[in-house]
A and B are shown apart, each in its own frame.
Chain A
Amino acid sequence: MGEQRMDENRIQAKNVTFRYPEEERNAVDQVSMRVKRGEFLAILGHNGSGKSTLAKLFNALYVPDAGTVLVCGMDTADDELVFDIRQNAGMVFQNPDNQIVATIVEEDVAFGLENNGVPPAEIRTRIDEALRIVNMSEFALKAPHMLSGGQKQRVAIAGILAMKPKVIILDEATAMLDPSGREEVMNTVHRLNREEGISIVIITHYMSEAATADYLVVMDNGKIHMTGTPREVFADVENVRKLGLDVPPMTSLAHDLRQAGIDVRPDVLTVEEMVEEVCRLSSKN
């Protein structure tokens, strides 16, 4: 494999299998996938399908029983590279309260840098920058427990961002937030993807969030069941529903309309697209 291709893949998983000790079945089973540079990828799947386990394999929190995971070309099985890997593949977790370590926002953002032995002057510039990017500068000296859920998650993102990662993995980072907090976080993540060129992997149960990704990976029982763009995946309404997942509301509506004999496109994702389709049909008649 050429150097060039290596550089294109932020994360590459090859036939990855992982089983928790004392469990019967593999939590992750023969998974191969990759996250390309600058890509926004979403992982879907019902509860217990192995999404979180896969995310932890991407961050060297777990090491595969079989197969390999490469993060920016580094093998997660190599003990020497663990901290380089974790710095390159940052992770944001579900519960905003349980991932903030320090008693002051800016100190928490500094946590990862302190662990990596970055000199204080550089820590200062990097955390100021990170807080600015997530729009939390004015809260730098606040106590974390005074913040809203969405703000806490943005602080967590800043803490990752300060480490200058190549890819950020968000494991249901919006699951415990209210709609406005969810929007704050999703907007931030999309901006990082667009403006800073950071690859993003989101794990989510919200199909509206998944619909904004470049690429979807649908898991079932530890295996990858479907992949493709949101359009391709959601157009297969029956199959997605069989996996215990929803499709975005407009895709569902398009599906119902088609069953009723109205010839709209099956891969409608957003309200705007649906409006367009309806206008197209009505102008035809």
Chain B
Amino acid sequence: MLNDITLGQYFPGNSPIHRMDPRAKLLLTVVYIVALFLVKSFVGYALSLAFLYLVVRLAKIPFKYLIKGVKPLRFIILFTFLLNLFFLTGEKVLLVLGPFRLTQEALFNALYFSLRLVFLVMGSSVLTLTTSPVQLTDALERILHPLQRFHFPAHELAMMMTIALRFIPTLLDETDKIQKAQMARGADFESGNLIQRAKAMIPLLVPLFVSSFRRANDLAMAMEARCYRGGDHRTRLRELRYTRLDGMAALAVCGFVALIVLEGHFFG
């Protein structure tokens, strides 16, 4: 049951996209996503797709990985599509279904909305496929660092993410062990209705919870013993440096945004 939970979806490689500074990647992904909200027509979505395709080719990741990223969200996307379809109003009625009137405007808007979601997910997939979780936390910490002046806990947040990433495999292992131990004593996790199955999880969760607290305690002690004292004056093994690559990527994204703005002007 636990084997199919994969952590992140990093696709290791050495492409120009992989080699970019993770901060630049993170920021440019945000810009791309914001630009998606400026798109006014199918031409714009075609442009977005073309841009994404270009990046994916550069990154040398198979395009189907992006599709895979969207798959778990297909029901949400379908749901929002239907919701938009039937509850938006418009002039040109295409179809009347009982109390619902389906209009052309609603159809287009629903399509746009779903497409935006799909591209949003695919865009962020490109980021997580080409950036390891460690790089991502690093980038996040450094991007948020200036906010520390306003007491925003940037370092703490990044440290929490690191520890979570570090301990998830350990805790999954432990869950597996406890589950097997309980099953050996006749516990049944698979049959029964939802409530029965939820109940069967309790003997699994309680020991896991208890041991997590013990681990947290141990880890805090070990971190303290290794001179941990928060984020001030802390240096990092890995320094992040912007390179020409990041400049080029920024230019490319700017170009894309410009095209989208023009598109909104002419087709909106």
User: Is the pairing of A and B real?
Assistant: yes
Interface residues of A (CB under 8 A from B): 56, 59, 61, 83, 86-87, 90-91, 93, 95, 97-104, 106-107, 110-120, 123-124, 127, 143-145, 159-160, 163
Report 30 cross-chain contacts, Cβ distance below 8 Å, ordered by A residue: A59-B225, A86-B224, A86-B225, A86-B227, A91-B222, A95-B218, A97-B170, A98-B218, A99-B218, A99-B219, A99-B222, A101-B162, A101-B163, A101-B166, A101-B226, A102-B166, A103-B165, A106-B237, A112-B226, A112-B227, A113-B235, A114-B236, A114-B237, A115-B226, A115-B227, A115-B229, A117-B234, A145-B169, A145-B173, A163-B227
The answer to whether B234 and A114 touch across the interface, beta carbons within 8 angstroms, is yes
Contact with A along B215-245 (1 / 0, CB 8 A): 1001101111111110001111111000000
Question: Which residues on the B side are within 8 Å of A110 (C-beta)?
Answer: 237
Say which residue of A101, A103, A123, A163 sits within 8 Å of B222 (CB atoms): A101
Selected from B163, B215, B239, the residue in CB contact (under 8 A) with A120 is B239
- CB contact under 8 A between A103 and B166, given known A98-B215, A115-B229, A163-B227: yes
Is the beta-carbon distance between A103 and B236 smaller than 8 angstroms?
no
Q: Is B133 an interface position by the 8 A CB rule?
A: yes
**Do the beta carbons of A115 and B228 come within 8 Å of each other?**
yes
Q: How far is the CB of B223 from chain A (nearest CB, A)?
A: 6
B-side interface size class = 20 to 34
Contact A102 B236 (CB under 8 A): no
Mark B100-120 against chain A: 1 for CB-CB distance below 8 A, else 0. Answer: 000000000000000000000
B 169-181 to A, binary, CB cutoff 8 A, 1 in contact else 0: 1100100000000
> Nearest 5 A-B pairs (CB), nearest first?
A98-B218, A99-B222, A110-B237, A112-B226, A145-B169
Overall SS of chain B's interface: helix
Q: Given the complex, which residues of B lie within 8 Å of A160, measured CB to CB? A: 226
| Max count, chain A CB within 10 A of own CB: residue among B166, B226, B235 | B226
Q: B143 an interface residue at 8 Å Cβ cutoff?
A: no
User: With A and B bound together, what is the CA distance between A110 and B226 in angstroms?
Assistant: 10
A residues near B239, Cβ cutoff 8 Å: 120
Interface string of B149-165 (1 = CB under 8 A from A): 00000000000001101
Residues of B at the A interface (CB closer than 8 Å) are 133-134, 162-163, 165-166, 169-170, 173, 214-215, 218-219, 221-229, 233-239
Q: Say whether chain A's binding surface is mostly helix, strand, loop, or mixed.
A: helix
* Complex: chain B residue closest to A123, CB-CB: B237
Interchain CB contact (< 8 A) of A103 among B162, B215, B223? B162
Q: Which of A59, A83, A99, A123 contacts B235 (CB 8 A)?
A: A123
* Contact in complex: A107, B226 (CB < 8 Å): no
Assess whether B162 is in contact with A120, with CB atoms less than 8 Å apart.
Answer: no
Residues of B within 8 A of A103 (CB): 133-134, 162, 165-166
B219 touches A61 (CB 8 A): no
Seed contacts A86-B226, A93-B225, A114-B236; 6 additional CB < 8 Å A-B pairs: A93-B221, A97-B215, A98-B219, A102-B166, A115-B228, A145-B169
**Cα distance A59–B223 when bound, in Å?**
12
